[in-house]
Amino acid sequence: MEITDAGILQAVILTKNEEPNLKRVLDRLTWIGKVVIVDSFSTDATLEIANSYPNVTLVQRAFDTHANQWNYGLSLANAKWILSLDSDYVLTDAFSNEIKQFIKDDNCSAYDTEFMFLVFGRPLRKDNTTPRPVLFKKADCIYYDDGHTQRLRINGPTGKFKNAILHDDRKSLSRWLSNQDGYSIKECNKLLSSSNTDISFSSKIRKNKVLAPFFVFFYSLFVKGLIFNGWAGWHYTLQRTMVEMLLALRLIEEEKLKDKTN
């Protein structure tokens, strides 16, 4: 079933140099009447790919924060329901069918989904991603910044998808490293500006600086069972460990610089 009435459902996607991913994502969204893409001035083939789909509306905006970028995208969408997707989120038929049922039933303000993480196109047994709301009523929700990412403030009841979205990022390792460098700075600033009474247990482990990389390595490899995923599991585990190592280095650097200036 196509949703040709763009006033019911529209999708919003943020992009910057997403040539390796975007086509696979948009191929699964042709049933939606309007897809808004907010691009941060890509220099690869992202714009050509986006413009090849008749249901895509492409705009460009200089990136400042994730929340501002997402909220700008929401301002360009004029539908009751918003499907908010990263540019490496690939929908399955089962997931799309759930969307159609949810917007028909109209019981909740937003719906959380879990993800199936793919590495080299191969699904992992498990991963460290957490559920997030991807389908929501525009009138009931708005984004706000939280560390290196954004959160959705929801004014109303929240449901949950039974099926998962495929998280299939095929950008290069160099691009991933560049992104993580910027994310670590924002996450470091968030942790240092928060008191231990206001943060979660996992954030307290991160502020310790030494424990988090070891914890994530053994948790991913053995508790999550990614050692049974072969090199894909090792690749994911080492990436997650590197994220924590980079954050630990940022925290140490910032604390030592602060001590030096005092």
Check residue 199 and give its pLDDT.
87
Check residue 6 and give its pLDDT.
66
- What pLDDT digit, counting tens, does each position of 150-164 carry? 999 999 999 999 999
Residues of the chain with pLDDT under 50: 4
Check residue 259 and give its pLDDT.
72
In sequence order, the β-bridge partners of residue 118 are 123
CATH code for the structural domain at 9-167: 3.90.550.10
Check residue 195 and give its pLDDT.
85
CA distance readout (Å), 166 to 2, 33, 93, 196, 244: 21, 22, 11, 34, 24
pTM for the full predicted model: 0.90
Report CA dihedral (91, 88, 127, 163) to the nearest 10 degrees. Answer: -10
Check residue 3 and give its pLDDT.
58
- What pLDDT digit, counting tens, does each position of 115-163 carry? 999 999 999 999 988 999 999 999 999 999 988 789 999 999 999 999 9
Check residue 262 and give its pLDDT.
61
CA distance 72 to 49: 21
